[in-house]
Amino acid sequence: MKGRISVTHEPYINIAFVGCGDIAHAHWRGIRTHAPQLRVTAAVDIDTSRASAMAAMTGGQPFTSLEAALAGSDFEAVDIMLPPHLHEEAARVAFAAGKHVVLEKPMSTTLESCERILDAAREAGTVFMVAEQAQYWPDVVKTQGLIRDGAIGEVVTARAIFSERVEKPSGGRPWRYDAMMTGGGICLDGGLHRIRPLRMWLGEVEEVIATLGYPIELMEGESQAQALFRFASGVVAGYSALISYAVDGVGEEFSILGTAGTIVIEHGREGRCLLYNREAPEGRDVLPDGKRRRDAFGLELADFAQAVREGTSLAATAEDSLGELRTVLAMYRSAKSRQWEPVRTAPST
């Protein structure tokens, strides 16, 4: 590492958006609501119309490459929101320029690529966040506290469900359906948002057994998965992921059963977090009004900004995100071997 992370005391932290698709709009909303200390000064996209539109929205300058933005704009940080197969190149360019980096999950498509990114981050000595919004979901954070405080006793088992309805593409194959660009299928996309909370609550996954399905014909990677995760504690949790053209009718996203109660997190961004125990046998919503998932992008970017400005620790390190990638890669191996596969020491192939 070149040196300690520099701390800025300027009123704003200038940041470049790299990739101006849908997720960039979510990040921009998050900045406006929870991280006003971030100021977008550059909007980068190979599509000039998208770069220009985002620049007009944020007040930044449009560019068609990160290299051009580095030469033509002033910023200390970079927010990378590209397809995963482009993460390594963009991150290494940003770190070589001495920038702080927030990078959308997954870090990359292979463990080897992730290690190269981490090496570049260590060399730069700047703040590096892998943006996993589930780390900041208020219901997930509340559940973590309830489990830690013994509200449901000792955890016996848990279940995580990801289910989403998608429209049939009207044109060609969306980039999310391209396994080369994503590294896999739904488990490396929305499915990661179910693995992070399980790891927050239950610790590290040691081994998995999984099956995969492909109901979306255009999608090269899996669009359906079922798995069991065995954690270092011995707890076994169920995991289910599905995207389809059908109407989504799932009632819950998570359930955690303990010796003295149960926590159920309902499906959807506005779902409730219900605690069932002796004092609340019918279930009690433990989230205050207004504390829902729509705030997560802003909360994660505020955490990033605070780390840049004050040198504070992030809620989760960039290295921590490798736990999700290792788990999914073990699932892929298990689907082929039809047996339990290790996670913590798993190779990336």
**148 & 270 share domain:** yes
171 and 225: one domain? yes
Amino acid present at 6 = S
Q: Are residues 194 and 219 in the same domain?
A: yes
Q: 143: burial class by Cβ within 10 Å (0-12, 13-18, 19+)?
A: buried
- Whether residue 160 sits in one domain with residue 260: yes
Instruction: Give 319's contacts (C-beta < 8 A, 6+ positions apart).
Output: 118
Is residue 349 in some structural domain? Answer: no
Say whether both 118 and 150 belong to one domain.
no
Structure tokens given for 294: 């729509």
Do 277 and 170 lie in one domain? The reply is yes
**Do 24 and 64 fall into the same domain?**
yes
Whether residue 249 is contained in a domain is answered as yes
Phi-psi region of 19 (alpha: psi -120 to 50; beta: other; left: phi over 0): left
Same domain, residue pair 71 and 147: no
Residue 52: CB atoms within 10 A of its CB come to 17
Structural contact between residues 97 and 70, judged by C-beta atoms closer than 8 angstroms:
yes
Per-residue pLDDT in tens (0 to 9) along the chain, 349 residues? 444 455 555 689 999 999 999 999 999 999 999 999 999 999 999 999 999 999 999 999 999 999 999 999 999 999 999 999 999 999 999 999 999 999 999 999 999 999 999 999 999 999 999 999 999 999 999 999 999 999 999 999 999 999 988 888 887 788 999 999 999 999 999 999 999 999 999 999 999 999 999 999 899 999 999 999 999 999 999 999 999 988 666 689 999 999 999 999 998 767 799 999 999 999 999 987 767 788 999 999 999 999 999 999 999 999 999 999 999 999 999 999 999 999 975 444 4
Q: Residue 297 in 3-state DSSP?
A: helix
For residues 303 and 208, membership in a common domain is answered with no
Q: What is the 3 state secondary structure string of 58-82?
A: HCCEEECCHHHHHHHCCCCEEEECC
Tell me the CATH number at 186.
Answer: 3.30.360.10
Q: How many structural domains are present in the chain?
A: 2
Range of the domain at 256: 135-285+324-342
User: Residue 281 has which token pair?
Assistant: 């046998």
